[in-house]
Amino acid sequence: MVQSRKRLTDEQMKQFETEGYLIVRSVWTPSEIAEIKAEFETISKSVIPGFFEPDLAEDVTDPLRRYPRVMHPHRFNALSKRYMLHPEVIAIMEDLYGEEVLAAQSMFYYKPPGARGQALHQDNFYLKVEPGNCIAAWAAIDECDEDNGCMLLVPKTNVYDIVCPEVSDSKESFTTHYVKPPKEEKPIAAIMAPGDILFFNGNLIHGSYRNKTKDRFRRSFISHYANVSATKISHWYNPLYRADGFELTLESNPEGGPCGIETPAYH
């Protein structure tokens, strides 16, 4: 059941519905941010096959080889699962969906100084939530601005169809897919402080800048969710979780389609 307490105002709901995204300030406290930082600092010193596989050699030149993103940390780390199911995040998600929410995925990005960004793309191209859509909760762990590679959002593209991506510029993006934004909408920078969380629709075109700084990480904890009325999702995201941690599996949406077989590594 969706809880009766509304977390979002009518103005915030309208913002999400019309623009496709919403930044909610100070969702997580400074002590919670410190807890997440400490946990992933510990993880960064290890190798976790299938989830986090850094190159720990001293002569690594690509910062993303030393600090790749952590995939699905909730599958091996209790703290990550707890933050994926954080009550405040779940409450906001229930407002946005208007129904119960299912947690499908977690990720942690270190984005060290000098790291490439991620080309513009659409999330539900990968998650394939159906019927309905996925929604991301992108939590800032550090200050995020244009210098250290904040998020780029293309407003109002939440109403656009999922499109087949082009090939990205590998010098600027660590992923190979690129979705060209419509001429009438320009990407805007999402300036965020630690504890702020950005929520955005699975069709919204978004990406990120390169980290141009020499001494600032741009860490973020990201989770993706599906509406409880969804019946299918890409098999990479099973199992999903209810707010109480109960595990369940949706029917697997088959690989392929109008764009062919796609690699899941992008999400």
The number of CA neighbours under 13 Å toward the Cβ of 66 is 15
Q: Do the domain assignments include residue 7? A: no
Its pTM stands at 0.94
Burial (CB < 10 A; 0-12, 13-18, 19+), residue 26, is exposed
The answer, yes or no, to whether the previous bond of 73 is cis (omega within 30 of 0) is no
What is residue 1's predicted lDDT score, i.e. its pLDDT?
A: 39
What is residue 6's predicted lDDT score, i.e. its pLDDT?
A: 78
What is residue 255's predicted lDDT score, i.e. its pLDDT?
A: 73
What is residue 79's predicted lDDT score, i.e. its pLDDT?
A: 98
Closest CA to 225 of 213, 242, 209, 212: 242
What is residue 265's predicted lDDT score, i.e. its pLDDT?
A: 43
Task: Give DSSP secondary structure letters for 28-47.
Answer: S-HHHHHHHHHHHHHHTTS-
**Residue 218: CATH number of its domain:** 2.60.120.620
Q: Is 162:257 a contact under the CB 8 Å cutoff? A: no
Q: Do the domain assignments include residue 257? A: no
Q: Which residues of the chain have pLDDT under 50?
A: 1-4, 264-267
Q: Do the domain assignments include residue 4? A: no
The C-alpha atoms of residue 57 and residue 42 are separated, in whole angstroms, by: 17
What is residue 168's predicted lDDT score, i.e. its pLDDT?
A: 95
Q: Do the domain assignments include residue 66? A: yes
What is residue 58's predicted lDDT score, i.e. its pLDDT?
A: 87
Domain span at residue 212 reads 13-55+62-239
User: Alpha-carbon torsion 69, 31, 153, 208, what sign?
Assistant: negative
Q: How many domains does the chain have?
A: 1
Q: Do the domain assignments include residue 159? A: yes
- What's the chain's length in residues? 267
What is residue 43's predicted lDDT score, i.e. its pLDDT?
A: 98
Q: Do the domain assignments include residue 227? A: yes
